[in-house]
Structure 1
Amino acid sequence: MSNGSSAQELAETLAREIENTPAGTRIPTHRDLISRFGVSATTVSRSLAILTQRGLITTRPGAGTYRTETQPRQRAGDTSWQEAALELTGGTGPARSFKTAAMLSTLTTSGPDIIDLNGGYLHPELQPLSKLSAAFSRTARRAEAWDRPPVGGIPELRDWFASDIGGGLSRHDVLICSAGQSALATTLRALCPPGAPVVIESPAYPGTIAAIRAAGLRPIPVPLDQEGIRADYLDDALTRTRAQAVVLQPLFQNPTGASLSVSRQNDILGIARRHGAFVIEDDFARHMTHADAGPPPPPMIADDPDGTVIHIRSLTKVTSPNLRVGALAARGPVVAKLRAAHVIDTMFVPAPLQYTALDVVTAPGWKRTLATLATALEQRRYVAADAVAATFGPHALALRPRGGYHLWVSLPGHLDGRQLASAAMAHGVAITPGENYYSTDNSAPHIRLSYVAAPSAADVDAGIRRLKPLTTEP
């Protein structure tokens, strides 16, 4: 039975139970449902998402999930015709896939009884909420915030991103986008014809894999080492496939935490130029360098006068998941093509968001905000790494990156990432199975642990150590 059908069956079972309860009744927790029905955490999350879409339940952050007010039920019709209508290609073109389970797993809101070591966004305790609220309030009073912004973004914000990225960029090289995922999807569609190969890291960020498949493109995985993507394997992949695009996270890569050295960056740029391929640089963690780290390597676009690199940078990771503002930067004729694709995808990023972002990053306290976050991330990394060593052994971490927000944990051979994630949820801990980060089924067992979604460093420590009984070999 597929995960999708399991989720649908569980949703129907829960719906029958919930419909007979009064409005305001609290729904059993993820942990309780996993234990009761013997299903995975992913299946529970999907089933609850189905019930939420039906309007049967609602989630109150920090409080739990509850039965909604009773609403008149609409007569059920026959929707079976949609299965044929939704066959996207009809067998005549490249297959597109909208399977987003790996992405949705990191976006699922955990109940108050779950320690979240899965999420990819800052817990509110780490977000600069007072600064965001003040900036949004000031923006709301600006008349220009409610006028239509330029398609490429307001000039002052483009200037700021150009300066922040460096490399002599100007506002004319920058487009304001709706954060990193949107920028990546737009770039892939702009650069690659349907069915084309796209080289990616292996393991890779699930959003990259999902965006490639949704565009009808083919991911070509290339392995990493502790300095990032292997240049020799990249050269071979581009020779074999003639791919026109390579997607990289050169700094604190998700999930491994590897960072490209300057020499490795130069090797990769040389290979890409020789093959006539673009390098899409997803610089998602630039502002997540920890307090005990030295200066990070510059972005690849900084030493790229020939326009090989298309750079993506976002403010979302270091502010709030709702401040979905980022930038695409490039040099040469490709900028016009990116702008055209951006217009088709989103037309423009709402001006209130752009002016709020501009207010935040140009305020006198912006650097202090990043410094405070850097200190908190350093503390949480130390706590998480110590807990991993105590739980999984001293050799479980190949890297302890001084940046980003996660650890890539190697599992003993008798453990499976997905099975461990399900068992962990039953023990009140949300983790990410390593299988989510591969475009193929061939992967060594890993899990990824995020240390920014939990309320405190103490919660991170407790959550990881709670996994200890699950590591014992049967």
Structure 2
Amino acid sequence: MEWKPDKQARLPVYKQIAKRLEEQIVSGELPPGSSLPAERVLARRFGVNRGTVSAAYEELRASGLLQSWPGSGTWVSRHLWGVKQIPNWHKYTNGGAFLPAYPLAKRISEVSFDPAIINLAKAELMPSMIPSLPSREMESLLRCGFELGYAHPKGNPELRRLIADHVREQYGIVASPEEILVTSGAQQALHLISLCLLSPGDAVAMEGPSYFYSLPLFTSAGLRLYRLPMDEQGAQVGQVYELYQSQRIRMVFVNPTYHNPTGVVWSESRRRELLDLCRELRIPLVEDDAYGALTLPGSPKPPPPIKAMDPDGVVLYVNSLSKTIAPGLRIGWVIGPVSVIDRLADAKQQMDFGTSSVSQQLAQPYLGKSVWEEQMARLQAFLHEQRQTMLAVLEKELAGLADWKTPLGSYHVWCRLRLPADEQCLLDAAIREGVIFTPGSVYGAEPGWLRLTYAWAGKADVEEGVRRLARALRTALSN
């Protein structure tokens, strides 16, 4: 039976309608970007006057759940900052408690394996940039044989020792092996943190836009996500205190070096300010440093990670080998107080009995100083050339249509369109032209932003991909 408002209830009818629509939005039944019926249509369906529906829509617009544009109707907001999203248990296709990817991200994933598509969305290194295992180390592993049993719950002791040496040498982070948990990539580290240290309904703060926003694991955990606005020096730290006062945030997630997707590098003063505030409020700070090693030639060295400034154990530091060595190794780590690492290790043990022992053994040679520095020199030169190729073709094809800044490191160029274009229409047009990119709303950005990645496609494909994107943009703007 179709839902109808109860006109005899004490709750006003317009509030009943608003509550019903909100339930459909947070459950995923009405996903971000979906169109809602016209007010007169919904009024007929519910047997109420149009003004009642108008009042319900206005209440949801005020809360940020709905957006309207004169002549274009009303739709669910494409970003849901501050909204607690929970699994829709009535929809089996939503995959139970772990929510599916956002529709645009899912669409990109679906077409990314088509060999005819130029992929400017994939945040991976092209295969030729993944280093081979040094022959001497490979011979030693083959001669001695791999250990094929389950590894220590925290990770292979030798690998943890190497990680401790590595982060001290490369990032100035002092940590013992007991303060390190080896994970199956950085994303698993974030998953463990959200599952073990937070509860459904908890509020967390993160930069807006943010890579963290794109991860279904946060919304699947029932967390409420709150935006920290950004400027050229990083997130506006004063907002953390305001969110603590108004929402009682329990954790802050940041990506301060070559922020994904914007490329912003936080200033050292901004990093210290956030660390001091989190220490004062006694709330944990999670630092993702996936791209921190990828400073491009000619760019200034970024400030040290926040974790390097943290003698008190406020920061949980997350990193991996996925962006620097090989994503297929699935080797990441989280560094934090021993009590926290023990808690996460216990959960990981129950989840998968530890990261692959073979991958952990294969990863060890890459953390040796000489091998690491050789790979970084090679990788930074490659990324510099790729970046220059993309910037040149952007200037040629998209000048006047979009604006961007030169990234100082990492894989991405963050672009803003000068004229608004519907993201779904633009993505569909791009796919028809044979190219994909990542729309900004995947990261919680306002409409008009997009991320272009230059690490996966070769130079010729980067050039052709941007040309195809330019044609798609002109098509979308003309419709």
Aligned-partner SS, 1:333: helix
Report the Cα offset of residue 371 of structure 1.
0.6
Point out the structure with max Rg over C-alpha: 2
Q: Distance in 1 between matches of 2:351 and 2:227?
A: 27
Which of 280, 286, 290 does residue 292 from structure 2 map onto? Answer: 286
Distance 1:85 1:413, change over 3 A: closer
| CA-to-aligned-CA distance 1:111-152 (integer Å, 9 cap, x gap) | 222211110111112222x33798667545544521321111
Distance 1:395 1:297, change over 3 A: farther
Code of the aligned partner of 1:115: I
Match of 2:117 in 1: 114
Match of 2:76 in 1: none
Distance 1:370 1:284, change over 3 A: same
| CA-to-aligned-CA distance 1:174-206 (integer Å, 9 cap, x gap) | 011001111100011121122111111111115
Match of 1:470 in 2: 472
Q: Distance in 1 between matches of 2:447 and 2:327?
A: 31
Match of 1:257 in 2: 263
Match of 1:147 in 2: 149
Code of the aligned partner of 1:185: H
Report the Cα offset of residue 350 of structure 1.
1.1
| Structure 2: segments with no counterpart, 5+ residues | 1-28, 35-88
Match of 1:204 in 2: 210
Match of 1:272 in 2: 278
Aligned-partner SS, 2:351: helix
Q: Distance in 1 between matches of 2:440 and 2:142?
A: 42
Report the Cα offset of residue 354 of structure 1.
0.1
Match of 1:244 in 2: 250
Q: Give yes or no for the alignment of 1:298 onto 2:301.
A: no
Q: Distance in 2 between matches of 1:134 and 1:417?
A: 50
Q: Give yes or no for the alignment of 1:339 onto 2:348.
A: no
Q: Distance in 2 between matches of 1:134 and 1:210?
A: 41
Deviation above 6 Å: which 4+ runs of structure 1? Answer: 1-4, 84-89
| Structure 1: segments with no counterpart, 5+ residues | 7-81, 90-94
Which of 360, 363, 370 does residue 357 from structure 1 map onto? Answer: 363
Which of 328, 332, 341 does residue 326 from structure 1 map onto? Answer: 332
Identity, % of aligned positions: 28
- Within 5 A, what are the aligned runs for 1:151-170? 151-166=153-168, 167-170=173-176
Q: Distance in 1 between matches of 2:469 and 2:91?
A: 44
Q: TM-score, normalised by structure 2?
A: 0.74
Match of 1:452 in 2: 455
| CA-to-aligned-CA distance 1:29-88 (integer Å, 9 cap, x gap) | xxxxxxxxxxxxxxxxxxxxxxxxxxxxxxxxxxxxxxxxxxxxxxxxxxxxx9577899
Q: Distance in 2 between matches of 1:451 and 1:143?
A: 38
Q: Distance in 2 between matches of 1:469 and 1:388?
A: 12
Q: Distance in 2 between matches of 1:105 and 1:343?
A: 33
Distance 1:152 1:106, change over 3 A: farther
Q: Give yes or no for the alignment of 1:193 onto 2:199.
A: yes
Does the 8 A contact of 1:226 with 1:399 survive in 2?
no
| CA-to-aligned-CA distance 1:244-303 (integer Å, 9 cap, x gap) | 111111111111011111100011111211221111111110222212223221111111
Distance 1:295 1:437, change over 3 A: same
Q: CA RMSD in A?
A: 2.8
| CA-to-aligned-CA distance 1:139-167 (integer Å, 9 cap, x gap) | 45544521321111111211222222232
Aligned-partner SS, 2:333: strand
Code of the aligned partner of 1:450: T
Distance 1:103 1:189, change over 3 A: farther
Q: Distance in 1 between matches of 2:306 and 2:212?
A: 22
Aligned-partner SS, 2:229: strand
| CA-to-aligned-CA distance 1:341-397 (integer Å, 9 cap, x gap) | 222333201110000000222274331111111001011111112222333226834
Bigger drift between 184-193 and 338-347 goes to 338-347
Q: Give yes or no for the alignment of 1:311 onto 2:283.
A: no
